Chains A and B, each alone.
Chain A
Amino acid sequence: MTQFPLGAGELESLTRDLDECHRASSPAAGRGTWSRRRLLASAGAAAVGTILLSSCVTDDATGPRPGDRQGRRQSTDMDVAAMAAGLELLAVATYQAGLDAAATGRFGRLPDAFATFARTSQSHHRDHAAAWNALLAAGGTDEVTGVDLTVKTAVVDPAFAKVTDVRGLAALALTLEDMAAATYLNAVQNLLAGTDALVVAASIQPVEMQHSTVLRLLLGDDPAVGRAFATTAGARDPDDQIG
C-alpha cells in the first residue's frame, strides 16, 4: 500500500500543533514556534517534493510557467484550500454559537449526547481548518482566519435566527456537515490536482459524513436510510467569499 507523506495520525498531531500555536500566549510561544516550524517544514517539504516530482512528467524542461498546467494546478488547489478553511471555520463558529446559545437556555436543556457531539465535531472542524491552513502556508499563501461569508449570509444566519430548539440546531448542523462532505467529494473528483491536497480532502470527507450520520441518528432517522454513493449535491466551490 502506498503510504501518504503525512499519515492521519501525524496530520492530526501537526494540525493540533498549529492550532496550539495560533492560540499560544507568550509562555507557550517557544513550543508553539517550534511546532509551527515543524508543521510548515513538513508541509513545505511535501509541497517541494510534489513540485520536484511533478517535473518528472513535465514535457517542458524549463519547468512550470504562469498560465501553464503547473501554474493552474497550484492556483486551483490553493483556492480550494482557502474555501475549505473558510467553510471549516464557519462550522467551528456555528457550533460555538449553538453551544453559547444553549448555555443561556434558549433551547431548553441540551441533551448530553448532543453536547458531546457538538464539542467533538467542533474540535474536528478546527483541526480540518488548521490542516488546510498548513497547506496554504506551505504554498506561500496567506492563511484563512475568516469564515465562508457566502454560506454564512445565505444559509447559517437566516437559519440560526429561526432555531428554537435542539432539533432545529441539529438540523442546521446537519446542513453544514452535508455541505462540507459534498464539497470535499467535489474537490476530490473535480477540482484538486496536487496529491497533498487530495490526501487532506480524502482524509476529511468521510469524517464529515460520519458527523452527518450520527446527527441523523440523534435526530431519529433510520440508520439504514442513505445512499450507496456519496453525492456532490450542495457542494461549495472556490468562488465563495471568505472573510
Chain B
Amino acid sequence: MLTDGVPIQDRDPLADARVTRRSLAVVLRGLGATTGAIVAGQLVSGLTASAGAATEDVGAAQTAASLEHLAIAVYTQAAALPIMRELPPAAGATLASFIAGTINHHRQHAAAFNTIARKLGGAAQAGVNESVLAAVVQPALPSLRRPLDVVRLAAQIEDIAAQTYVAEVAAVSDRELRNAFASIMGVEGQHRAALLTMASLLAVDRPDFLTPRPPIDRVPAESGHAGFPNAFHPTELARPSNEGAVR
C-alpha cells in the first residue's frame, strides 16, 4: 500500500507497450523528423518516449499535488471566514465537519501524489497551484459575501481537480500514477457533488436542511440532481500536466 486505500498493483506486463496519447505524441515526434530513417527513428523515439513520458508523469503528479494543496488552503481559509458564522448552528456544524473530512482527504491525496513523484525521480510538490490560485481563487475572494459563495468556490476547486485527474487517467504512462488518479478522481467528484447539493439548498435559503438527516419529503426537487450535472465527467477545465511541476 502506498497510503491508505491506494493499491499498488503488480506490474502489468502489457503496461510497457501501452500507448497513451502522451507517449504516442513523443513517439510520433521522434518518427516525424525524417521519413528516410524510419528504423533509426523508431529506436530513438522509443528511448525518447520512455524518458519523456516519465518526465511528464512527474510533472502530472506534482501538478496534482499542487491542486491538492490549493484545495487544503481554500478550505482552511474558508472555514475561518466570518461569513461562515452566518449559518445556523446545525448547518454550520455540518459544513465544518464536511470541510474537516475533506481537508483530510486532500492531505492524503497530496501525500499519495508526492510519493509517486519521488518514486519517478522527481521532487515532492509542497506548494499550491499558483496558476489556479491566480486565475480562479484570488478573483473570487472579493465576491465571497455569503456561505453560498464559499461553497460554490470550493465546488469549483474540486471540479478542476476532478477534471484534471479524469484527463490524466488516459494520459499518464506510469501505472501506479494512473491508478492513483483513478482512485482519487471520483472522490473529488463526490466532494463536488456534496457541495453542489449543499449549494442548491443554500440557494433557496434552506440552510436548515444542511443537516445529517434532512427531511427528505421537504427537500426541493432540484437538490435531488444538483450534485451531478453531467452524464460524463467533463475535462474542459483540466489543468495542463506540467502547470504545477516543481521548477
Q: A-side interface residues toward B, CB under 8 Å?
A: 1-4, 7-9, 11-12, 15, 50, 53-54, 56-58, 69, 73, 109, 111-121, 123-124, 127-128, 131, 166, 181, 185, 188-190, 193, 195, 198-199, 202-214, 217-218, 220-232
Name the contact of A222 in the complex, choosing from B9, B184, B212 (C-beta under 8 A).
B212
Q: What B residues does A222 contact at CB under 8 A?
A: 94, 97, 212
Contact B232 A207 (CB under 8 A): yes
- Give the contact-size bracket for chain B: 35 or more
CB nearest neighbor in A for B234: A8
Residues of A within 8 A of B69 (CB): none
Q: Which of B170-199 contact A (CB under 8 A)?
A: 170-171, 178-179, 182-190, 192-194, 197-198
Partner of A224, one of B7, B97, B230: B97
CA distance A204 to B66 in the complex (A): 25
Binding site of B, secondary structure by majority: helix, strand, loop or mixed? helix
Q: Label chain A's interface by main secondary structure.
A: helix
**A120 CA to B105 CA, complexed, in Å:** 28
Give the contacting residue for B170; candidates A199, A225, A227, A232; CB below 8 A: A199
A112-B235 contact given A202-B166, A205-B185, A227-B187, CB 8 Å threshold: no
Q: Which of A120, A188, A218 contacts B216 (CB 8 A)?
A: A218
Q: Is the CB of B238 within 8 A of A1?
A: yes
**Residue in chain B with minimal CB distance to A70:** B17
Interface string of B231-243 (1 = CB under 8 A from A): 1111110111100
CB contacts (< 8 Å) of A109 on chain B: these are 217
| Nearest-Cβ distance from residue B21 to partner chain A, whole angstroms | 5
Instruction: Tell which of A9, A202, A218 has the most Cβ of chain B within 10 Å.
Output: A202
Q: Considering the complex, which residues of chain B in the window 1-20 have a beta carbon less than 8 Å from any beta carbon of chain A? A: 3-7, 9, 14, 17-20
Would B100 and A224 count as touching, CB distance under 8 A? yes
| Cβ–Cβ < 8 Å partners of B179 in chain A | 188-189
